[in-house]
Amino acid sequence: MTTTILSLGGGVDSTALLAIDLHRDEAADLLGMDRADLDRLYPKLDQVVFSDTGAEFDETYDNIALARKKCMAAGLPFTIVSKKTSSGRSIKEDLPEFLNRLGCLPTMPGQSHLCSVKFKGEVMTRWAEDTFTGEIQFVIGIEANEGRRTRFKMKKKKNTKNTYTPIYPLIALDLDRAKCEMVLRHLWDGAVRKSSCFFCPYMQEGEIAELINENPEKWDAVKAIEENFRQTSIVKHQKWIDAGKPTRSDGKAPEGMWSRDSYAEGKRLFAKTIGGKQLSAVEWEARLKKGQLQLFAA
């Protein structure tokens, strides 16, 4: 048995996929194709799941609420999962709580995106293991011109009872960002913003300025996460030095120790560089106040 599940992030791409599924006849006409071809390239959904990191923008949560309402009206099962509610977890926490507990950043040297791996793919896979049996198709919103990003980040375990396969209907349907936005204009009646954590390391200058100006509470949380990282980086690295620089069998420092003082080496929350240097949150704020940082033009 095959179960087709949309991984809904609440942004443009995944919302466009949901809009198409809920309005397949209209979508086929809009895209200039036969309904049969649409269904072949994009199998009908059996389930929609949203993995809540606890770090989304308010507009994204509003869109998720709208999506849930639409799915319920259409009889399409809709589930919200999170690491705070996931079965088998000894520590139940959202992404901000995780970062603050460990004093780390969403991306650390040599590591993958924590948000994608631990708080989305891993959580959805555990939920699917508990809920379904057989072949699981996770529908992922990757645009036609984003081939380099076609990876579904899930933590595979030897004892998984199901088979997991990611599928990318936007690529199959040749839908880029402009076409996804066109779909939303015709088939969706709510505002949809770019989906990302409010402290996404890959924000651009204008997005950082927007965050500072329009979401002061979230900006304070950003500064707290980075300051906690600054303090933790010093302490855990010194602990490793004091212990004689031990390593585990995989070459990494033991738990609770860091072999690098990443903050001292220049690692900051936001990856964007100015003059080859990553700026701290405080420096980004100062840059905005000096008028060197312009608001994002949507």
Per-residue pLDDT of the chain (298 residues; tens, 9 = 90+): 899 999 999 999 999 999 999 999 999 999 999 999 999 999 999 999 999 999 999 999 999 999 999 999 999 999 999 998 876 667 889 999 999 999 999 987 655 567 788 899 999 999 999 999 999 999 999 999 876 555 555 555 567 888 999 999 999 999 999 999 999 999 999 899 988 999 999 999 999 999 999 999 999 999 999 999 999 999 999 999 999 999 999 999 999 999 999 999 999 999 999 999 999 999 999 999 888 765 544 3
What pTM was estimated for this model as a whole?
A: 0.90
CB 17 within 8 A of CB 141: yes
Contacts of 47 (CB under 8 A, 6+ apart): 3, 4, 5, 6, 76, 77, 78, 79
DSSP state of 269: S
Amino acid residing at 31: L
- In contact, 111 and 250? CB cutoff 8 Å: no
C-alpha distance from residue 175 to each of 10, 134, 141, 169, 181 (Å): 17, 29, 10, 8, 10
First to last CA, the chain: 43
What pLDDT is attached to residue 29? 98
45: its two tokens: 């959904």
Give the residues across from 6 on adjacent strands.
48, 139
What's the pLDDT score for residue 89? 64
**Ramachandran quadrant class, 275 (left: phi over 0; alpha: psi -120 to 50; beta: rest):** left
- Check residue 294 and give its pLDDT: 59
Residue written as token pair 């990856």: 271
Catalogue all structural domains in the chain, each as residue range(s) with its CATH number: 2-187 (3.40.50.620), 205-289 (no CATH)
Which of 37, 47, 35, 38 has its CA nearest to residue 2? 47
pLDDT at 177: 95
For 74-97, letters b (16+ CB in 10 Å) and e give: eebebbebbbbebeeeeeebebbe
**C-alpha 216, offset from chain centre:** 21
**Side chain identity at residue 287, one-letter code:** R
Burial class for 234, CB neighbours closer than 10 Å (0-12, 13-18, 19+)? middle
Contact status, residue 122 vs residue 160, Cβ threshold 8 Å: no
